[in-house]
Amino acid sequence: MGKKVAVLGSGIMGQGISQVFIRQGFDTLLIDINDAILENARNSIADGKFGLARLVQKGTITEDLKKQYMGNLTTSTDYGKLSDREFVIEAVPEIMDLKLKVMESIEKNIPENAIIASNTSGIMISEIGMNIKNKSRLLGMHWFNPAPVMKLIEVVKTPFTSQEALNTVIDMARAMGKEPVVVKDYPGFFTTNFVHSWLVASLRMYEKGIASMEDIDKMAKLGFGFPMGPFELMDTIGLDTMKEIGDYLYSETGDERMIPPPILKEMVYAGYRGNSKIKMNSRGGWYDLK
């Protein structure tokens, strides 16, 4: 594969993926719905928390190299500029109608031999790409946040993905210093199923009174070396997102272990979303918004 890539969606994941690409010398096109959003994304890639400025401060790269990397990044609202791209990855929000529209726009504008990937964390690639005519070039490339730091990439192969497209993405991931692992197309793949099962199990044990939230978090970190406990992680993911994931996995698989527990539904319906705004009180419950 050549060096012309595109990222659709300039949120946190789109920014992180773009940063990895530009550091590897890829001619990277970042597309979103308006110029203000794209300017904010460009500034974050350069100077945000996980941006290139962090590497300059650490002495990993020079200021001149930072400028060189940023020169590899082009932003646009025009899907027509995908006409020369060899690889395109969508990283738009997990909204099915939106993803279908984005996929349709991608296929209309890219060359016949270009690879189409999705960064979805759990929606089946076959469903996202249901309207793609040439499904042999379609696959999942699930990055982890923060993309510049995390090594794992979950590569999702559908029954129609060609071996050539799969090998190309695996080689590209390895060339960028990542560790690709191939999984089959299934709701939640491996990683989302694994994490969601762990979080739901923690919620159910808390509901049974086995331990407080604080102590469950403490045991997960001290006993198993996890960087965050389950309740801290849910707080970061967002309780509403946790519920949406559980509802989706249960609806697609019928696995009752994925059903969001009552306490999670209660907090979401009450308007508590998480995202580090919900604090645990002395009784071990989420209740206060900052």
Q: How would you write the pLDDT of the chain (290 residues) with one tens digit per residue?
A: 669 999 999 999 999 999 999 999 999 999 999 999 999 999 999 999 999 999 999 999 999 999 999 999 999 999 999 999 999 999 999 999 999 999 999 999 999 999 999 999 999 999 999 999 999 999 999 999 899 999 999 999 999 999 999 999 999 999 999 999 999 999 999 999 999 999 999 999 999 999 999 999 999 999 999 999 999 999 888 899 899 999 999 999 999 999 999 999 999 999 888 754 433 332 234 433 32
Among candidate residues 184, 199, 228, the one where a domain is terminated: 184
Q: Are residues 40 and 151 in the same domain?
A: yes
Residue 3 tokens, joined: 């060096």
Q: Are residues 210 and 150 in the same domain?
A: no
Q: Which domain holds residue 110?
A: 4-184
Q: Are residues 198 and 153 in the same domain?
A: no
> Nearest to residue 7, comparing CAs of 165, 118, 134, 126?
118
Q: Are residues 141 and 215 in the same domain?
A: no
Q: Are residues 211 and 141 in the same domain?
A: no
Q: How many domains does the chain have?
A: 2
Among candidate residues 129, 158, 184, the one where a domain is terminated: 184
Among candidate residues 157, 184, 211, the one where a domain is terminated: 184
pLDDT given for residue 1 in this prediction: 64
Q: Domain containing 280 — which CATH number?
A: 1.10.1040.10
87-90/4-8 β-pairing: parallel
The Cα–Cα gap between 265 and 246 comes to 11
Angle at 217 between CA 215 and CA 222, to 5 degrees: 90
Structural domain contains residue 290: no
Structural domain contains residue 59: yes
Q: Domain containing 132 — which CATH number?
A: 3.40.50.720
Q: Are residues 89 and 138 in the same domain?
A: yes
The Cα–Cα gap between 152 and 173 comes to 9
Q: Are residues 8 and 96 in the same domain?
A: yes
Residue 206 tokens, joined: 């808390």
The answer to whether 234 and 240 have CB atoms below 8 angstroms apart is no
Q: Are residues 117 and 254 in the same domain?
A: no
Altogether, the residues listed in the chain come to a count of 290
Q: Are residues 149 and 166 in the same domain?
A: yes
The Cα–Cα gap between 19 and 118 comes to 17
The residue ranges of DSSP E strands in the chain, in sequence order, are 4-8, 27-31, 73-76, 87-90, 115-118, 138-142, 152-157, 179-184, 278-280, 286-289
The answer to whether 96 and 121 have CB atoms below 8 angstroms apart is no
Specify the pTM.
Answer: 0.88
Q: Are residues 35 and 83 in the same domain?
A: yes
Q: Are residues 162 and 219 in the same domain?
A: no
Structural domain contains residue 225: yes
Structural domain contains residue 177: yes
Q: Are residues 87 and 33 in the same domain?
A: yes
